[in-house]
Amino acid sequence: MPAVTIRNLSDETHCALRVRAAHHGRSTEVEIRDIIEIAVRPSERVKLGSLIAAIGREAELSSGDVEALQQKNRD
């Protein structure tokens, strides 16, 4: 499993992490790992259909555009 080293962390931040870890009843290392995992992982798995729909909305595709693309793929 990879290891990460964080350098130049202020004393105040390190102290706050220790206090937060103690409040949650765990080690500072486990607390930091949890903070990082929450920060980088989505809270729920994104389903493919939802992702495609979001891309279509962002690209401002209308229903007609989608139908035209589907028809073109059938030809």
Whole-number pLDDT of residue 57: 86
The Cα-based distances of 52 to 48, 49, 61 in angstroms read: 6, 5, 11
Mind listing the pLDDT tens digit for each residue in 9-55?
999 999 999 999 999 999 999 999 999 998 998 777 778 888 888 88
> What global pTM score does this model have?
0.56
**31: number of Cβ within 10 Å:** 19
Whole-number pLDDT of residue 42: 75
Whole-number pLDDT of residue 72: 82
Q: Indicate if the pLDDT at residue 65 is higher than 90.
A: no
